[in-house]
Structure 1
């Protein structure tokens, strides 16, 4: 790939990421949430209670970030933490009733943001985007060992 194409691609990905996060932040603020917290709520809603280490892995973020988010969400009453039965050093995190209700609001907000993000794109393109973006994410995932590529 030549530089002009590479630059256009990298700039587009960078700007989409920045603007999507900023738009998400604006939509989440009235719910009292900061970016990242919605992903934690949605993961717990989808998967049920889990230990913080599993939550960190599922969210693709560092354990200290999950610890900070869980403390803040626990302080607002949206989640609760309890010692894991199998390992008292680990904490199991689960949604409270208010957390379930908030996750429901986030789901509605997430649908609206997704529709806003893909507005004007053909349905076929929209259907392909999750797979394309997941593949692109995997290509740059620093948590995975790099595969050597033959050229």
Structure 2
């Protein structure tokens, strides 16, 4: 890839990321949430109670970040923690009734944000975006060992 194309692509991804996060923050602020907290609420709404380590894996963030989010959301009455039955060192996190109601509000905001983000794009493009973006995320995911993908050497270093 030529530098001009690489630069245009990287700049577009960077700007989308920054502006999407800023727009999400603006939508979440009236609910008393900060970016990242909505993902935790939505994960618990999808899956039910989870151990904090599972939440960390599902959200793709470090355990201390999840611990901080859980503490804040617990203090505001949206979550509760209890010991895991199988491992007393682990905490199980679950939504409270207040947290379930907030997750419902977040779902509506998330739909609004998604619609704003893809406005003007053809339906076919919108349908392909989640898989395309998951692939791109996997390509740059530093949590996993890099493979020979893109080296053109058949896997030889």
TM-score (norm 1): 0.99
* Partner SS, residue 103 of structure 1: helix
Give the root-mean-square deviation of aligned CA atoms: 0.6
Question: Whole-Å Cα distance in 2 between the matches of residues 2 and 47 of structure 1?
Answer: 43
Residue aligning to 1:3: 3
* Partner SS, residue 80 of structure 1: strand
CA drift at 1:6: 0.4
* Partner SS, residue 94 of structure 1: strand
Say yes or no: does 1:142 pair with 2:147: no
Question: Whole-Å Cα distance in 1 between the matches of residues 111 and 122 of structure 2?
Answer: 17
Say yes or no: does 1:52 pair with 2:52: yes
Structure 2 spans left out of the alignment, 5+ residues: 153-157
TM-score (norm 2): 0.95
CA drift at 1:56: 0.2
Say yes or no: does 1:81 pair with 2:81: yes
CA drift at 1:145: 1.2
Question: Whole-Å Cα distance in 2 between the matches of residues 88 and 71 of structure 1?
Answer: 18
How far does the alpha carbon of each residue in 1:91-140 deviate from its partner, in whole angstroms, 9 at most, with x for none?
00000000000000000000000000000001110010001000000000
TM alignment of 1:96-111, pairs within 5 A = 96-111=96-111
CA drift at 1:82: 0.3
How far does the alpha carbon of each residue in 1:32-54 deviate from its partner, in whole angstroms, 9 at most, with x for none?
00000000000000011010000
CA drift at 1:144: 1.2
Runs of 4+ in 1 over 2 A off after TM superposition: none
Residue aligning to 2:155: none
Question: Whole-Å Cα distance in 1 between the matches of residues 136 and 8 of structure 2?
Answer: 15
